[in-house]
Chains A and B, each alone.
Chain A
Amino acid sequence: MDWWSSSGTRARPMASTLSGYLGTLAGVAAVTLALWGARATLAVAPIALIYLLGVFCAALLWGMGPAIAGSVLAVLALDYLFMPPRFSLALQGPSDVASLAVFLAVAIATSRLAAHARARTHEAEGRARQSQALLRLSDAIAEAPGIDAALQAVTALTAEIFAVEHCALLLPDAVGALTVRAHAPGPADCTLTREEDGIAAYVWRHKTPVPHGAILYVPMRLGARSVGVLRVGPRDGQVLPAAEHTFLHTFAAAAAVALDRRRLQEEASQAEVLRRSDELKNALLGTVSHDLRTPLAAIKTAITALLQDGVSWDPAAQKDVLSTANDEVDRLTRLIDNLLDLSRIEAGALRPDRQWYEVGELVRDTVHRAAPRLQDHRVTVLLSEGDRALYVDYVQIQQVLTNLLDNAAKYSAPGTEIQVTGGVEGDSFVIRVRDQGPGIPVSEAERIFSKFYRIGRPRTGTGLGLAICRGLLEAHGGRIVVENPGQPGAVFAVFLPLAQPPALAASPA
Chain B
Amino acid sequence: MTRWVAAVGGAALVIAAWGVALVTPDDAAAEQPFVVPVEVGDAGEGRNLAVTITGVRAADAATIDGWVATGPWLIVDLEAAAVESESGALLSHATLSIDGRTFRASERPPDSLFRSALSVGVPRSGSIAFELPEAALGDDVAVLSLGLSEDPRLDSVIELHLEPRRLDRVEEAELVSSGWAR
Q: Do A and B bind each other?
A: no
